[in-house]
Amino acid sequence: MSGAFSLGDVVRRFIESSYPDASSQDWTVALSGGVDSMVLTRLLKPIADEWGVSLSAVHVNHGMRAEAARDAQFAEKACNELGIPLSLKTISLHDVPPELHKSVEADARRLRYQAIVECVLGVQNVPGSSGVPRGKADSNPSGGQVMGDSVENNKVHKPVVFLAHHADDQVETVLLRLLRGTSVEGLRGMQPVREWQGIRWMRPLLTVSKSQLVDYASSNGIDCIQDETNFDTHFTRNYIRHEVIPKLHHVQPNLAEVIGRLTDVLEAEDRWLAEVSQEHFRTLVQKRGKDLVIHTERLLSIPLPLQRRVVKIILYCLASADWTFDHVDSILRLCRESGASALVHLPGRVRVRKSYNELHFLRVDSRKSDIGSVTGAGQLKWRLDEQSMCRLQWSGSEQSWTFRCDRWNGREALGLLLADRYQALFPKGLEVTIRSYRAGERMKVLGLQGSKKVQDLFVDAKVPRHLRAEWPCFYVGDDLVWVPGVARSTLFLLDEFQDGWHVIAQSVPS
């Protein structure tokens, strides 16, 4: 029983220190039926009974395995034996919109958390539930509200959801984020307590190893089920778990403890950086109508890590998207560039407009046209993304342009596009700059040998002389890659069967 007491004490003290008012709230435990969640449920039950708390469980059927129905029946039987109400939720990966699709693992996680939220709050189609409760995606780092969303009162007691992630899961998470590229914030790993979607999510087992949970289950006769897909090393997390971490244990036997200390240190440092960044946000950012405005020189005067965080705070004030390093970096590059006017298009209908020495952040109304009016010396920056669109009109121009970006399936026939110069394909991960060409500029034209002057390309395409100076040209960095309606370059092409972005250009007289 000593093992039973020690684990129970870990959970009890965690709750008492993390959420003193937890006993006044309803508790829900996410129950898969595996050893981790079964042990956590067994540990929570006597605490809930002692404190007079209502404890329930939720089981999510992902519909991905033949044994899914068996797992649901097991969870139902276990809850009946413990006297715990159980909610069963079924999800389908087909419910993930194409523009939000990432991977099987990520999509399943997204839908699983959304199902838990719907179950706990008793609502359907939770708005803004595109993320999961782990990083800044689960809270606004400015401490304020997302524009257009309701303000959440932090003084209101929130329902509690318990998750059974343990120390070994934390190791996997940190390694995954390190391999994918992350910041100090990401290397903090999973947080023990996190508020998201009006719920307090708690992970009381992050200091407990998998082996301790297995030993506890064995010593106390706790039945559990095994998910066979956890051994499929085609999934990245499983590969790290079964192939990478065992080798790391040869180098560092106390890997979980070392990672745990790292996340504790980074959590404290990240919290301090967040506080400093929020102070800079309050002093540097002004609200003018619907725009959030910051002076470029003042932003660039603070250290680079704080620049990035202030920009990210602004973005989260506008939309709860998965803001990445690339998004933030594109804005800081815009800030440093010498041009007087430019525009960056970002996900979530967020636009960042440079006007001389100011950056204007805004979220456009989806019901209105988004027209970027740019001076003759200006430029527009556009990060290619699913179903994104921008409209461009240079000051005084006789016509405006509409550009629409959609996903391109590499299995489609490339030949269908080759004859239409108003359509182009690009690899994923590109940010393009749209501006007018410069005198003497040349382009390596697809289908021709060598390069050709852009001026001559306009002549060949019979573009009227008075329209050439305001004709939009697409650049990646300093490379001219496409003149819509005229020619496509040999740079940044798609390989056969490669997925990418399909951009369609349309010119409309003003």
Q: Which residues are annotated as a binding site for ATP?
A: 32-37
Q: Is 323 helix (H, G, I), strand (E, B) or coil?
A: coil
Nearest to 55 by CA among 32, 77, 23: 23
The CB-based long-range contact list for 234-237 (8 Å cut-off, 24+ gap) reads 235/104, 235/105, 236/105, 236/176, 237/105, 237/172, 237/176
Q: Which of 167, 195, 135, 193 minimizes the C-alpha distance to 36?
A: 167
Determine contact, residues 48/180, Cβ cutoff 8 Å. no
Q: Which ranges constitute the DSSP H helices of 285-355?
A: 296-300, 304-318, 325-336
Identify the bridge partners of residue 350 per DSSP, sorted by sequence position.
346, 363
CA distance from start to end of the chain? 80
| DSSP symbols for 15-73 | HHHH-TTGGGS-EEEE--SSHHHHHHHHHHHHHHHHHT--EEEEEEE-S-STTHHHHHH
Name the token pair of 196. 């998201």
Q: How many CA atoms lie within 13 A of 340 on its CB side?
A: 5
Report how far residue 422's alpha carbon sits from residue 435's, in angstroms, rounded to the nearest whole number: 16
Residue pair 162/202 in contact by the 8 Å Cβ criterion? yes
Using left for φ > 0, alpha for ψ between -120 and 50, and beta otherwise, residue 122 falls in left
Look up tokens 């069963």; give the residue: 88
Provide the 10 A C-beta neighbour count for residue 435.
21
Nearest alpha-carbon partner for 163 in 57, 245, 67, 258: 57
DSSP 458: H
Reduced to 3 states (helix: H, G, I; strand: E, B; else coil), residue 376 is coil
Q: How far is CA 8 from the centre of its chain?
A: 35
Q: Are 387 and 464 in contact (CB under 8 A)?
A: no
Annotated binding site: 32-37
Three-state secondary structure call for residue 12: helix
